[in-house]
Structures are given as structure tokens and as C-alpha cells.
Amino acid sequence: MSPSALETPMMRQFLSVKARHPDAIVFYRMGDFYEMFLRDAEIAAPLLDIALTTRDRGKQDAVPMCGVPVHSADPHIKRLAELGYRVAICEQVEDAKSAGGRRLVRREVVEVVTPGLVGDPNGIDGRRELCLVALDPGASVGIAILDASTGEFRTTESEAGGSTLPLAIIEELQRVDPREILIPDGATDLADRLETLLPGAARTSVSLECYDPARVSEPPEGFDRSRSDSAMRAAAALLDYVGANQPFALAHTTRLGAYRLSDTMILDSATRAHLELFRNAEDGGRERTLIDRLDLSMTPLGARRLARWVAYPLLDPVAIGSRQDAVASLADRDRRRARLRDALKPVRDLERMLAKVARPSSTPRDLAALRDSLEAIPPVIAALEWIEEELFQPDKPSESCLVAPRPVPELCELLREGLIDDPPVVARGSRGANETGYIREGFRPELDGIRERVHKGRAWISGFEARERGRTGIANLKIRFHPVHGYAIEVTQANLGRVPTEYERKQTLANSERYTTEELRAAEQGVRGGTEQAAALERQICEELRVAVVEGAAAIREAADAIATLDATAALAEVARRDGWVRPVVDLGLALEVREGRHAVVEPLLCAGGGEFVPNDTELAVADVQILILTGPNMSGKSTYLRQVALIALLAQMGSFVPAASARVGVIDRIFTRVGASDRLARGESTFMVEMRETAEILASASRRSLVILDEIGRGTSTFDGLSIAWAVAEYLHDAPGLGARTLFATHYHELADLARTKVRVSNAHFEAREWGEEVIFLRRLVPGAASRSYGIQVARLAGIPASVIARARVILGNLEGGELDERGRPRIAGPAPGGESDESQLGLFPSPSPPGHPGEREVLSLLQEAKVDETTPLQALELLSHLTSLLRKEDPS
Ligand code: ADP
């Protein structure tokens, strides 16, 4: 029987690697391929759409395998990570030569790519963060967040904790949208919870010891090993995980930043979706989103900073003012802004380039790319010279105002002198083995010396041909080079007779013979040896340069940080200037006033299509018009308006200018949105429950500082209970003590307009519509008062419904409307809440066999109903009568 395919030395090596990485798909390097074996191959082949084969056809235990070429492995690795798998990259860590062909080359896992640690930042969208999160559940819940592709590392914690996840942490996790979450071993409840909350994120269990901050051996700046709060513990677990899987990534993770959730506006996932901040509602893409609208950044650094600003609007008017100052200073100066933006462009993605260089497999080309970006910094500084002194405030956090980046001249110089302008592309993993010549001449005398020797040897060889032709008289004698056999003198068949005796035959070809001589062999050895020596030395120098860069990582990251802020600020200034946005006043008041506001995203789209956007005002104030009810037909512009106002508030608090003639925003702690069920039907969500859950969340969490946007409530159920819920919700927002959130409420329930009659801080508005021949024209202009109730009938008339039907419809509408008023002409629907103002009549929507008001009356009634008059004696009748009257007296104090 043939031996088992699992018994070969190579399979044994593979199995021992696999034993150390049982939960990963092992990419086992074999020459120019990464091979996968056994179960790994069976999993990966269909996912990567590659052929599953075996080399052991017919043998016992034939091993299934598949493979990908090394040079194109990266997208495959990323694909597997995206699908939630881990990939262990197992490289050959010695030359086949040094193993001498006697034994298997040594192989080691140099990197484990996981869903949250995707490794090489090539090919991932530079405009977004790609995060790994570690979570420490405890008395307070801490999370640490790392984008390993940039080294951006931050941590925060919630006050509350315990067995359930606090809402603030859930919302933060949803905002960060991590690819992978680390949780402590055994936290199964937590794992289940996270699965429902963040279905797209992989969950990885790590041992509890990893959470010990004291174990972190090389803490980044801002990491305190003596602390043991949950934020620090989460950070420790995250560093431990990176160290275990991609240790080199620690080199550019130079600083841990701490932030407080209470410093920024809360935007829950529903609101982010409804306002289409990062993804549009149609296909989840970036087109037609706020970020897409704002992102005129010149570098991915700026794009990511803008995204951060959109995701975390500020609450402190001073910090907001400082960003606004920066935007204003750039918005006011067109030529200088243009110069700055031109200067920013060549900087490219410093952070991800640094991450690339931190990888041991990085190439000279990666180093040169980083160098070119670093060299682009001084022109940025030059383009900033004009900025008034006060804008440069090095002590202030760089996110809130302009800071000139600090150049890193020594590093630039080193890389400039060390590397040629355009180093060659080198395949992944080959570490420049076959490429030479990228170290600049004059950088290292030793290298120059070797190169000189090689050069001389080559020159001697090429002169050798002419000399030998002359010496032998063989006119077509040629010196050939073969990569394996080396140099040879080639003589054709016809001239063999003239070959000198000292020629040693090397090789016989069809029409010629190849020879060598002692001299040629010596020269060849000199050239070959020299070339190898030079290549080894170049690799060594390149590694030295790489280490120098990694040591300067903190300075590079700092410069990148300043550039990010500059770029994001310049982008906001560009938008503001180009589209006529203005600087809003942001204060601690409770008003929200906008003159001629426009929708940041809809306006340009409309204008691009030849349309015109109609600006509208907003005037909300907690003490005055706290709730604005917008009635009116579909398509009149309600939704657009609601979102427009919310976006203006959000833009204002992120420090941007806003699309309006003027605006004042009293700081908003949270924007709540609840958007009509019909809008979501298309996405197949069970609507009414979702709708009510969102509404419950608003009523539970809104504060005096919140902005509440309600676009239809109660649509997902019957008219009566829908209307009743809508009504009660509006009343609650108005009446609940300590609430008073500024509210915009769009609804198709005209009845809600009646709220304004009884609630002082409720006001009505609608969008104007005109009849134009056979059509209704929407003017998109917001005007005070409720919309006409007969709008639908008007449209029916225009559509050609017979006049008699229209007339009858008007009568019925009149009746219905009349039915909503009580006998004193007051709106029945506006009746008192239980225990509320007692003077109001009952809710009028339901036909009333009016059940009597208090329990005593009810008891009296039921006693009367039960009484059997036929069998009652006069005495009993009197007793009953006395009992009944006493019941009624007890209940009625008057
Ligand atoms: P509703 O919520 O009342 O159904 P929408 O807000 O969806 O209405 O608006 C309907 C259409 O009107 C949209 O296509 C939108 O582009 C356009 N629109 C809305 N507001 C304006 C405006 N202020 N100026 C111009 N067009 C607008």
C-alpha cells in the first residue's frame, strides 16, 4: 500500500503550523504560491472561486489543496477576512539555498490577518476607518478602538455597566461599526447580544489575562499601565491581540487617545440612516450622502477627519467656534486656500503609508512613496505662512483649530539620499530578493565599491568577445549569458575547427558548442558574487531605512494629524465658499432659527438637474414654538424640510458653515428621527413595531436640548389608533416636565393641527400648493397654518371624477369635520388627558355610549342592571336606593 499523503515531511511541517493556528486558514508559502491544504482548502476554494485539487491522486489520504499566486494573494486574503475568517500567513523564513536542498526550508507564521486586522492597507477604502474594538464589560463598560491601517487608537467608557450593555456603548459601537470585537472568554451572553446588535462584526474571545494593563510591554503614549479602569483594560486587550497577530503594527500605534461620549452629539444608527450621513437610503452607497457632499478633501487623511467630524458633532460652543474660525479664515481667502489645497494634494495617505512601511514585508517602493509624501509637507507649511499667529495654537487639540504640520527633515533627507527616485515594484514577500539598484549611488561607499567591481567585471566580459574574435579569427564568436549556466563562449558548428585548446566545453547545442575559459570563469564569479553581495547589502540598507522610519512613527503620525485637520477644514471652507454657505451662531440657548435654509444634499442635486431649490425658514424655540406640526399632502416637501433642518443643526455643531442665509443653533445634545413606515416598507422591515420602538426611544431619552424629527407616526396601523398615538406623542413632547425638546412633526393626520388650539407651544405650518389648470403645483414654500383638508378632493376633481361625486365627497368631508367638534364647537380630539385639565370634553373620535366617568357611577349602573324588580320588596327597594345614593355621594365631593 502507498504511504499516507499526510506522512511527507512537508505535510508534517504544515500540520505543526496548523496545530498552532487551528482557528485560521493557513496560507503556506511554496515558492511563488500560497497553498492551502485539507479543511482550509475546502473552505477557501469556493469562497475565493479557485479550483480545489490534490497532488496525491490515488494515494491514501489524498490531501485536498488549492492555492493562489503570491503576487495576487492580497485581495484573496482581504476577501477571507471580510467574510469573517482569519488567515495565517506562513512564509519561508530562510533561503532554499541555506537549507542546502537537504531539508525542508524553515517556515513561520509572520502575520495573522483577522476581520479587524486586515494587514496590508493596500486596496482598502481610504475614506473610511476600518476598526477593531476591544470591549471590557464590568461595573463600567470600556471600549478601545483601533484602526490598524492608520494607527488611530482611542478609548472611552460608559458610566453605567453591569450585566447589560449600556445604551451609550451600544450606540457608540454602532457608530464605530467595527469589523471585529474582542470580548472576554466565556462572555456568551455578551456575544449573543453583540451578534444581534452588530451582525456584521466578527466576535473573537480573548483570555481575561489579556485585559491586564500591567502586561503591556511597550505602552503607547497615553497608555497608563498602573490604571485598571475598563477603558485601559480594553486598550490592553486590544494591544495584546495586535501583538499576537501583527506585532509590527504596534510600531505605528504610537498614541492612545481618550474621549468622552458626553462631549459629542449622540446620533443613533436610525438617525444616521434617516439623515443619510454616510450611506444613502436607496443602495447604501456614498452617493447623495452628507459626507459625499462635504468631502472636497485632497487627501484620504482629510476625508477620514471629515467623516469623524460628521459622526461626532461637538457640544461645546467654544470648541465649535474654534473650528468655525479656522473654516472662516480659509473661506475668506480664495487664492490662499487654493494654494494650500494644491500643496496638500501630493501628501497622500501618510498614515496608511506608514502602516505599510511598518510591515517587514514592505518594499523600497513603499519607503519611497512615504518619502515623497513627507517631502510634500514643507510646501504645505509655506502655503500657511499668511495665517494669523493666533490660529496656530499648538497647545490646543489639533482637531479643533489649524496647526501647521511639523516637517521631519532628517527622515526626508535620509530617504532621499538612500533611495533612488523611482524604486522598482517588488512582489509581495520576495523582499526585493531579485531587485537591485534601488539604493542611491553615493549613499554607502561599501555598496559603491561592490557595484564598481561588478561593473568592471561586466565591462571585461563584453570586451572579451572582441578580443577572442581577434585571437581565434572566429568572426561570429559570441559571449552568451544564461541565468542558470552563466557566461559561455558560443562557437557555431562550422568554426569548431578553430577553437583553441584551452577552451573547456560546457554545453552542446543543435548548431553550436558552448565553452568557457579559466579567465571567463573568474570574471563571471566576480560579477555573480558581487551582484549577490550588492543585493544583500541593498536589502540590509533598506531594512535600516525602514527601521529609521518606524522609529520616527510618532512624528510622522503627528504631522499626518495636522494635515488631516488642515485638509478637512479647507474642504469645509471650499464647500462654504463655492455654495454660499454661512457661518451659523452656535450658543447655549434653546432656539433653532434658520433664515432661507436649504437642504445640503438635495439642493445641488436639484440644481444639477436644472431645478431650483426653494429656501425656507425655521423658527423653533423651547419657550415659544417648541413643536411645529407640518401638514399637507405627499410630495409637498415635508420630509426634505425636516431633514434639511436637522442637517443644518448637525453641520453647525461639527464646525461647518451651513446652507442658509443665516442660522442660530442652540446646542443640540441629540438628534432623534422617526421616519414614516412607508419609507421603510421597501426595505422589508416589520414596520409598526420598529416605528413604535423608535418612538419609545425618543420619549424615553429626549431631553430639553434634543431635536426631535418626526416624519409620520402611526402610519403602520389603522387610522384611529395611528392618529391617537400621534396625538398623544405630540402632547407628551409638549407637556412632559423637563422635556420640551424642539420638535418638527410632519403628518398626514390633519387632525393634529388642532393641537395648536390647546397647546401653547405648538404651531402649524404647511407647504403651499396652487391649482394650475389641470394640475396641482407645489410651491415648496412653507407657510403658517394647517394645510387644506380638501386637498385630496381637489386632486380628484382635477383627475376628472364626476362633479356629482365631488360634491357628495365635500358634504361627507364636512360631516366628518363637524363630527370632530363637540356641542360647544371645540375640537373633541383635544380632550383632557386623565387627570389633566378637567374642563375639556371627551375624546371625540370614538362613538360614545359614553361610559360614566367615575367608578361609583359604574357600580351604581351595574347594581341597577342586576336588580330584579319583580322580586324586590318595597323595603329592599328603599335600601337599594339609599345604597345607590350613598355610592354617588362618596364619589362626588360637590
Ligand atoms: P413629502 O415629504 O411631503 O412627501 P418630499 O420632501 O419627499 O415631500 O419632497 C417631494 C419632492 O419635492 C422631492 O422630490 C424634493 O426633491 C422636492 N422638494 C422638496 N423640498 C423642496 C424645495 N424646498 N425646493 C424644491 N424642491 C423641493
- Is residue 326 within 8 Å of residue 402, measured between CB atoms? yes
Assess contact for 17 and 88: CB atoms under 8 A: yes
Average pLDDT, the chain: 88
C-alpha cell at 875: 323595603
CA-nearest residue, atom 23 of ligand 1: 614
Residue 644 Cα to ligand 1 middle (Å): 11
| The predicted structure's pLDDT at residue 768 | 87
Residue nearest to atom 26 of ligand 1 (CA): 613
Q: In whole angstroms, how far apart are CA 803 and each of 769, 770, 776, 791? A: 22, 20, 18, 16
How far apart (Å, rounded) are the C-alpha atoms in residues 278 and 288?
9
How many whole angstroms from 622 Cα to the centroid of ligand 1?
27
Residue nearest atom 25 in ligand 1 by C-alpha distance: 613
Task: Tell me the three cell numbers of residue 402.
Answer: 489649524
- Sheet strands side by side (includes 616-621): 585-587, 662-666, 591-597, 616-621
Chain centre distance of CA 791: 44
Whether the CB-CB separation of 369 and 439 falls below 8 Å is answered with no
- Ligand 1 atom at minimum distance from 711 CA: 2
Q: What is the mean pLDDT of residues 406-421?
A: 95
Residue 280 CA to residue 269 CA, distance in Å, equals 13
Write out the three cell numbers for 886: 350613598
- Ligand 1, atom 18, residue with closest C-alpha: 637
Q: What is the pLDDT of residues 793-845, one digit of tens each?
A: 877 888 888 989 988 888 888 877 766 555 554 555 555 554 444 333 333 22
Question: DSSP readout, 718-770?
Answer: -HHHHHHHHHHHHHHHHHSTT---EEEEE-S-GGGGGHHHH-TTEEEEEEEEE
Substitution candidate for ligand 1 out of 638, 639, 640, 777 with most atoms within 8 A of CB: 640
350 has pLDDT over 60:
yes
User: How many angstroms is it from 619 CA to the middle of ligand 1?
Assistant: 19
CA of 722 to the centre of ligand 1 (A): 24
Neighbouring-strand partners of residue 114? 117
- Collapsing DSSP states into helix, strand and coil, what is residue 368? helix
Altogether, the residues listed in the chain come to a count of 894
For the chain, state the CA radius of gyration. Answer: 38
**Of all protein residues, whose CA lies closest to atom 10 belonging to ligand 1?**
635
Indicate the helix (H) or strand (E) that contains 772: strand 762-772
Q: Which ranges of 654-739 does DSSP label H, i.e. alpha helix?
A: 677-681, 687-701, 719-735
Separation of 373 CA from ligand 1 center, angstroms?
45
Going from the Cα of 709 to the center of ligand 1, the distance in angstroms, rounded, reads: 16
Q: Which ligand 1 atom sits closest to the C-alpha of 606?
A: 16
Q: How far apart are CA 51 and CA 79, in angstroms?
A: 16
Q: What residue owns the CA closest to ligand 1's atom 14? A: 635
In ligand 1, which atom is closest to the CA atom of 781?
23
Whole-angstrom distance, CA of residue 511 vs CA of residue 491: 9
Question: Side-chain half-sphere of 415: how many Cα atoms within 13 Å?
Answer: 27
Grade residue 349 by pLDDT with cuts at 50, 70 and 90: very high
User: Which atom of ligand 1 lies nearest, measured to the CA of 598?
Assistant: 23
Nearest residue by C-alpha to atom 9 in ligand 1: 637
**Which residue owns the Cα nearest ligand 1 atom 20?**
637
From ligand 1's centre to the CA of 775, what distance in Å?
17
pLDDT score for 546? 95
Query: What's the pLDDT score for residue 309?
Result: 97
Q: From atom 5 of ligand 1, which residue's Cα is the shortest distance away?
A: 637
- Bridge partners (DSSP) listed for residue 489: 479, 515
Q: What is Dmax (Cα atoms) for the chain?
A: 156
Distance CA 348, CA 369 (A): 9
pTM: 0.86
Residues 6 or more apart from 138 whose CB is under 8 A from it?
161, 230, 233
Over 80: is that where the pLDDT of 415 sits? yes
Around ligand 1, the residues with Cβ closer than 6 Å are 602, 606, 613-614, 616, 634-640, 780
**N- to C-terminal Cα separation, the chain:** 108
- Where does the pLDDT of residue 778 fall: very low under 50, low under 70, confident under 90, or very high at 90 and above? confident
Phi first, then psi: give them for residue 782, nearest 5 degrees: -80, 125
pLDDT at 154 over 50: yes
Asked if pLDDT for residue 851 goes beyond 50, the answer is no
- For residue 210 the three cell numbers come to 489579556
Q: Return the pLDDT at 889.
A: 75
CA 459, chain centre distance (Å): 58
3-state helix, strand, coil in the chain (%, to 5): 45, 20, 35
Q: How far is the CA of 192 from the centre of ligand 1 (A)?
A: 42
| Mean local confidence (pLDDT), 78-100 | 87
Residue 879's pLDDT band, with cuts at 50, 70 and 90, is confident
Helices (H), 246-358: 269-274, 290-294, 300-311, 317-331, 334-344, 350-358
- The band of 566, judged by pLDDT with boundaries at 50, 70 and 90, is very high
Q: What is the pLDDT of residue 847?
A: 30
Q: How far is the CA of 594 from the centre of ligand 1 (A)?
A: 18
- Report the separation in Å between the CA atom of 185 and the middle of ligand 1, taken as the mean of its atom positions: 51
- The minimum-distance atom of ligand 1 relative to the CA of 636 is 3
Q: Which of 464-468, 686-690, 838-842 has the lowest mean pLDDT?
A: 838-842
**Whole-angstrom Cα distance, residue 530 to residue 459?**
14
Q: Greater confidence, 298 or 677?
A: 298
Q: Which residues of 815-854 are buried (b: 16+ CB within 10 A; e: fewer)?
A: eeeeebbbeeebbbbbbeeeeeeeebbeebbeeeeeeeee
**Do the beta carbons of residue 428 and residue 70 sit within 8 Å?**
yes
Atom 19 of ligand 1, residue of closest alpha carbon = 637
* CA–CA gap between residue 525 and residue 280 (Å, rounded): 65
**Per-residue pLDDT tens over the stretch 237-274:** 999 999 999 999 999 999 999 999 999 999 988 899 99
Whole-number pLDDT of residue 434: 53
Q: Is there a contact between 69 and 33 (Cβ–Cβ < 8 Å)?
A: yes
How far does residue 698's CA lie from ligand 1's centre (Å)? 25
CA 145 to chain centre: 12
Measured between alpha carbons, how far is 808 from 816 in angstroms, rounded to an integer? 12
Angle (CA) 569-613-289 rounded to 5° is 45
Question: In this predicted structure, what is the pLDDT of residue 269?
Answer: 87
Query: 602 CA to middle of ligand 1, Å?
Result: 9
Question: Which atom from ligand 1 is nearest to the alpha carbon of 599?
Answer: 23
CA of 753 to the centre of ligand 1 (A): 21
Q: Express as a percent the part of the chain with pLDDT over 90.
A: 64
Rounded distance, CA 169 to CA 144, Å? Answer: 11
Task: Give the per-residue pLDDT at 195.
Answer: 93
> Which pLDDT does position 392 carry in this prediction?
53
Measured in Å, residue 744 CA sits from the centre of ligand 1 at 16
Q: Which of 9-23, 161-175, 375-389, 848-862 has the highest mean pLDDT?
A: 9-23
In one-letter notation, the amino acid at residue 779 is: L
**Would you state the cell numbers that stand for residue 41, as one nine-digit string?**
482548502
Distance CA 814, CA 831 (A): 21
Residue 65: strand pairing partners: 37, 53
Q: Are strands 591-597 and 504-508 parallel, antiparallel or unpaired?
A: unpaired
Each residue's pLDDT tens digit, 359-374: 988 889 999 999 999 9
* pLDDT given for residue 681 in this prediction: 46
Q: Which of 78-87, 478-487, 595-604 has the lowest mean pLDDT?
A: 478-487
Q: What is 40-85 written as a DSSP string?
A: HHHHHHHHHT---EES-TTSTTPPEEEEEEGGGHHHHHHHHHHTT-
- Distance between CA 809 and CA 825 in Å, rounded? 22
- Determine the distance separating the centroid of ligand 1 and the alpha carbon of 712, expressed in angstroms: 15
Ligand 1 atom with the shortest distance to the CA of 612: 25
- Using the predicted structure, report yes or no on whether residue 105 has a pLDDT greater than 80: yes
